[in-house]
């Protein structure tokens, strides 16, 4: 099988993996925002009230959760488009244009950046939250499901540890898969660029040879009458 076919099949498989991993980001993060009544625990801190035993929460910006959700949808959209486009090219046995290969590389690079940013936010933000939980509970996992918030806040803490764990796995795995897809896209872009340069060089060389042959033919025709005149003299 040609190298291009191996690369495009690897890209299709990689985008399928990224699509599945993007669901591991979007679904648990949406569930978390719902359970926390629209709030986001990432980078959230607070103080433990010694009188009531409750956690007085100082909510962090919703941007952290929103960014991770947007990243998941972005990865899902890019993967869907790329799977459709590459599958169509593979079935019709067509080659991608240089512009298409360039866009593949750019989208792969953007996917890497966004997935890395989401993974860092989830990891560091969850560590910040857990550092607050371990001031009262033996571990962050034990704190899940405990009633340590005010009743009027309508916060459901039952599944936050599992949700953050799945989202963290999805973000880091998506980043790793996006790096691989970006490498494949760059390989195809470089290979196509080299092939185009080779074709251009061969075309120029062929034109040079054709011009040289034409020049020799014209020189032979013009020299023939001169040779006959010299023989008559």
Confidence of residue 4 (pLDDT cuts 50, 70, 90): low
Task: Quote the pLDDT of residue 218.
Answer: 61
Flag whether 75 is in a domain.
yes
Phi, psi (rounded to 5 degrees) for 218: -65, -40
Within a domain: residue 16?
A: yes
At 64 the pLDDT is: 95
Does 217 fall in a domain? no
Residue 112 and residue 180 in contact, taking contact as beta carbons nearer than 8 Å: no
* End-to-end C-alpha distance for the chain, whole angstroms: 70
**98 is in which domain, residue-wise?**
3-192
Report the alpha-carbon distance of residue 124 to residue 128 in Å, rounded.
6
Please check whether residue 213 lies inside any domain of the structure: no
Q: Which of 143, 184, 147 is nearest to 161 (CA)?
A: 143
pLDDT at 165 over 70: yes
Cα separation of 52 and 23, whole Å?
A: 39
pLDDT number for residue 129: 94
Mean pLDDT calculated for residue range 4-18: 84
| Angle CA 130–133–135, to nearest 5 | 120
In a domain, 167, yes or no: yes
For residue 233, is it within any domain? Answer: no
**Residue range 76-100: average pLDDT?**
83
1 pLDDT tier (thresholds 50, 70, 90): very low
In this structure, the chain runs to a length of 233
Q: Measure the CA–CA gap between 149 and 168, rounded to whole angstroms.
A: 24
- Residue 223 forms part of a structural domain: no
The domain tally of the chain equals 1
């Amino acid at each position: 099988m040609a190298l291009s076919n191996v690369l495009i099949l690897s890209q299709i498989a990689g985008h399928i993996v990224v699509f599945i991993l993007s669901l591991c980001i979007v679904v648990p993060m949406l569930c978390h925002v719902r359970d926390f009544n629209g709030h986001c625990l990432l980078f959230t801190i607070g103080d433990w009230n010694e009188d009531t035993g409750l956690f007085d929460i100082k909510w962090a910006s919703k941007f952290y959760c929103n960014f991770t959700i947007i990243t998941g949808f972005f990865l899902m959209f890019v993967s869907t488009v790329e799977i459709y486009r590459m599958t169509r090219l593979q079935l019709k046995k067509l080659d991608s244009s240089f512009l298409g290969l360039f866009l593949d590389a750019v989208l792969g690079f953007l996917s890497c950046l966004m997935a890395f940013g989401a993974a860092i936010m989830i990891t560091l933000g969850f560590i910040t939250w857990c550092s607050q939980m371990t001031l009262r509970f033996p571990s962050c996992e034990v704190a899940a499901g405990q009633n340590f918030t005010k009743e009027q806040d309508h916060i459901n803490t039952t599944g936050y540890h599992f949700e953050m764990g799945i989202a963290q796995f999805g973000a880091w795995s998506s980043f790793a898969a996006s790096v691989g897809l970006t490498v494949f896209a760059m390989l195809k872009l470089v290979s196509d660029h080299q092939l185009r340069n080779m074709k251009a060089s061969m075309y120029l060389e062929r034109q040079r040879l054709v011009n040289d042959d034409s020049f020799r033919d014209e020189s032979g025709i013009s020299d023939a009458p001169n040779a006959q005149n010299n023989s008559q003299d």
